[in-house]
Every structure is written in structure tokens, then in C-alpha cells.
């Protein structure tokens, strides 16, 4: 009986062990790629362009596929932040100060507002106002830096961050500054 059990065990082991030819074993049923939902943040620097017909300044279309290598869905959340200033920490190190759009400014002529619109393939950032913006101070239009966050809807709804704070968002999404994709 011991010999039969040993022979049966050895035969079973032989047929269930890995092959030495490197061929994969049986595959499971097809499914989705393992990446799942991926949040992304990218940075764009722009000199805004004046559109006289519409009386606003615009970045033009910013196409997401220039910055991402994954599919973006219409259920994803898009947030846009504008670099307001570079502040200073207590130890003297510089720190970026970001503001979530929309963002209002009150000038001597009236009010302007940074706003944006988006689809799931692109975004456009505007400076709109309640007066003729053709002579808007270049400080509002030249060299503007924006960070655009694309957050899958399920992650956005289940996360616990302050969307007004870019640092809070990045910590919650486990993203570092080195993860931010820069415009070419």
C-alpha cells in the first residue's frame, strides 16, 4: 500500500509541477487590465491669448492625451489650480501657493475671473471679466502656471481631501511633485 501511495504521490507531483520550458500555465477568464483608475496631475505654463470677439483671454485647448497614457472617462473629475505666488516656509525655503479655479480678482476697472471648462479629452482656461479686457495687465496673462488634476470619479467620491488645497489632494492620491507631468 505504501508503494502505491508513494507512486500515486510522485505521479501527481510530476504532473502538477511547473514546466521547465517557461510556458505559462492555464489562464483564467479574460478581465480588465490591472491598472484600474489612475489619478494624474500635469502642469502647463501659458501666455494667454486675447480673443477680441469674446473679450476674454484663453490658454487655447489643452489636450489631455499629451500628458496621459490611459483612458479618461466623462465621469472623471477635473480640477484646475493656478500658481498664485511663491511663498516662504518658516525655515526660509520657497513654497508654491496654488489656488483652485474659479478665482476672482478685483481691479480698478472691474472684476476678472479665472475659469475653465473641460471635456474628457481637453480643457481650456479663461480669464473673463465685466469690462473690456484688451488691456489687461500682463501679470494676469503672461507666464501663467496651471496644474490640472484628473481624478477618477470613484476615487474622488471615496477620498477625504480638501480640494481647495493641492497639497491635500496630492497626499490623498499618494502623488509626489516628481509624479507631475510637465508640458513640453
CB-CB contact of 44 with 145 (8 Å): yes
pLDDT > 90 fraction of the chain, expressed in percent and rounded: 47
Please choose, from the candidates 133, 26, 38, the residue with its C-alpha nearest in 3D space to the C-alpha of residue 76.
38
Determine the pLDDT at residue 127: 97
pLDDT in tens, 124-170: 999 999 999 999 999 999 999 999 999 998 888 888 888 888 988 88
Give 140's contacts (C-beta < 8 A, 6+ positions apart).
48, 57, 105, 112, 127
- CA pair distance 47, 88, nearest whole angstrom: 25
Provide the residue ranges of all domains of the chain, joining segments of one domain with +.
37-182
pLDDT at 120 over 60: yes
pTM above 0.85, yes or no: no
- CA pair distance 179, 6, nearest whole angstrom: 56
pLDDT in tens, 79-97: 999 999 888 888 888 888 9
- CA pair distance 146, 149, nearest whole angstrom: 10
What's the rounded mean pLDDT across residues 18-46?
Answer: 63
CB-CB contact of 58 with 51 (8 Å): yes
The three cell numbers locating residue 116: 475653465
Determine the pLDDT at residue 181: 87
Amino acid at each position: 500500500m505504501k508503494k502505491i501511495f508513494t507512486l500515486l504521490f510522485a505521479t501527481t507531483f510530476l504532473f502538477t509541477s511547473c514546466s521547465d520550458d517557461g510556458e505559462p500555465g492555464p489562464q483564467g477568464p479574460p478581465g480588465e487590465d490591472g491598472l484600474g483608475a489612475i489619478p494624474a496631475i500635469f502642469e502647463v505654463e501659458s501666455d494667454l491669448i486675447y480673443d477680441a470677439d469674446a473679450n476674454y483671454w484663453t490658454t487655447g485647448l489643452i489636450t489631455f492625451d499629451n500628458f496621459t497614457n490611459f483612458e479618461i472617462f466623462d465621469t472623471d473629475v477635473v480640477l484646475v489650480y493656478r500658481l498664485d505666488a511663491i511663498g516662504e516656509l518658516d525655515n526660509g525655503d520657497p513654497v508654491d501657493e496654488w489656488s483652485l479655479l474659479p478665482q476672482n480678482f478685483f481691479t480698478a476697472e472691474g472684476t476678472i475671473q479665472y475659469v475653465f471648462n473641460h471635456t474628457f479629452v481637453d480643457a481650456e482656461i479663461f480669464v473673463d471679466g465685466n469690462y473690456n479686457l484688451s488691456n489687461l495687465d500682463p501679470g494676469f496673462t503672461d507666464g501663467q502656471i496651471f496644474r490640472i488634476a484628473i481624478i477618477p470619479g470613484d476615487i474622488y467620491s471615496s477620498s477625504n481631501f480638501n480640494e481647495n488645497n493641492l497639497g491635500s489632494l496630492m497626499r490623498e492620491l499618494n502623488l509626489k511633485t516628481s509624479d507631475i507631468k510637465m508640458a513640453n
